[in-house]
Structure 1
Amino acid sequence: MSGVTYLPVKGEYHDNFLTVQAAARGGMDRERQACLFDRLAWIGPLHRIALHDKPPLLLRAQIGDADAWLPLMRQASGHHVALANWYNFTWRPIYSSIHSEEQRQSLLRQLADTARQRTRRLTLAPVPDEDGSASKIAAAFKDAGWVVDVTACDENHYLRLHGRTFAQYWDSRPGQLKNTVKRKAKKNTVSIRIETEFSETGWQDYEKVYVRSWKPQEGSPEFLKQLAQHESGSGTLRLGLAYIDGQPVAAQFWTVENGIALIHKLAHDERHLDASPGTLLSAALFRHVIERDKVDEIDFGTGSDAYKQDWMDAVRPRYRLDMYWPRSLANWPLIARLHLRQMRRNAA
């Protein structure tokens, strides 16, 4: 045990979103959560549309008006995973009305205690740690008696402007990228439109491009469309579209909020690769969010695609936490294999 003194906390669990919405008392709404992925408006539709075959389990810890939530879903009997999928840039505990770090630690420890009453195994990803999320989850669950393994599972490319103008940012880009944009823009064959309000026509053009791109089949187009509609209503949608001879050839779906631009989706029609419409569209969107939206940060989501390095300045890891309750006999073979992997890591 860590020797940390914890405050008395109430723990409970929910298996449907109606009771979650009532219990949260607005704590997971846009007004209380700066990050899109920490909101009930993200989690609820994601589960209902894309993950409906996996029963939800949302753990809650409460001290007075302070709350912490752990959104999970059942992967298999006795095994729960983060309520997230490839659309998530991050997944982490969701806090509201926290007044001290002592409260945060106590709430997280209670979530660990409540979790062992509902499941024997947890897999959580993609968890950030620049805010301490991965480290704090691991510490709280270890202190509650869980066996915890933390490994890097993905990476996130991002850009911090630090007050730079678009011209200053662009001057720092690789020469090949700048030359491509300069040469292709001179030909004037690609026209670009950036929409801040959802329209059926614009979204249909986005979907046309996606179908013709190198991308695999979209996992849940209905979820993405609903997200675009919802974010349009809040003024955060940035839908970039590039055309050649009136036909859509590149498309990107961004959102901008609280000084951060998130790049959710991008695609281009492979038949028009020589015109570099995707590159020209990216340059236009970067200019738009830097000059007009005055963002401080641009986040390219997860994935180690090489092209992201041309646009971004930094990369940070995303983590996977595998956690096992040691008193469950079913976990013993898993824990044994984990210890073996850890021994090999340490010996390497």
Structure 2
Amino acid sequence: MYVTLRDLSLLPKAHLHLHFTGSMRHSTLVELADQHGIRLPDALRDEWPPRLSAADEKGWFRFQRLYDLARSVLRTEADVRRLLFEAAEDDAAEGSRWLEIQVDPSGYGNQFGGITAFTDLVLDAARDAAERHDIGIAVIIAANRTRHPLDARTLARLAAKYAGRGVVGFGLSNDERRGVTEDFARAFKIARRADLIAAPHGGELRGPDNIWSCLDELDAHRLGHGVRAVEDPALLSRVVEENVTLEVCPASNVSLGVYTDLPSVPLEVLQRAGAQIALGADDPLLFGSRLLDQYETARQVHGFSDAELAALARSSVHGSAAPSDIRKRMLEDIDAWLAAPADE
């Protein structure tokens, strides 16, 4: 274990794997539920964070049910603006200079006048939150792999419409064991024509087979999770050679039962192989762990030195869609963080 103690909250970093509803503060969830008369189960109120596992279909169903309940508290424009304001405030406090938040507008369209109106609201709220907290914020529109691939194409066209206006990528989320990855290839082609980052989930609940599909069929630039690439040396070599960014979320890997504990998450194996890793919090609302906690895990559990932690932060910047001037400034500030004396 290394003894260097530079303040990780001052390490500039990009946050590339954060879901919209999952970014909500627990206190905000409870307050909005009370305000709108929504009954929350004990797992989301008094016994938070919930004990989770997605090792089987029943476990994932419970996780999804809790997520859907959390989403249901967002009823008004003010609720959406509050969520993004607080997400930006929390990220900025942890040293995040650039945040890419992932959202499936189809999960909110009925409540907010359709998927286009909701996307307009999210982008406007993100711009306001970014300005007020001095953090860059962009949006990744994500399709749900448990729904029909035609729905994904609709969302890809929506994402393409907003390319260059706050939307920077297109994703594919939900239970990786559901649906056929190849069936979403046409949606990703639509996104690719608009120069959007392809960032599907892959290599968490399923193994290397789905990562191969994400790379071959969806032309993924980034992988949501991707940790199970370590199970196939040829695949891991390809991920490294093609500079595919892995959005690794240790706390969620353990909470969902992919690994038994934090030391089992193969962070060191990926790092030694030369993979580009961007640590992410995934769904802090359900996992009770934010971005800074993931960096603390890398330091305290996996023994990363400050130089290695700075390398993780650089990887997050390189994997992001941040404009070149923001990237340059962040990379310079990462170097400055590492050059500063460490507290003993």
| Fold agreement, TM-score > 0.5 | no
Larger radius of gyration: 1
Say which structure is richer in strand. 1
Say which structure is richer in helix. 2
Give the alignment's TM-score, normalised by structure 1. Answer: 0.26
Give the alignment's TM-score, normalised by structure 2. Answer: 0.26
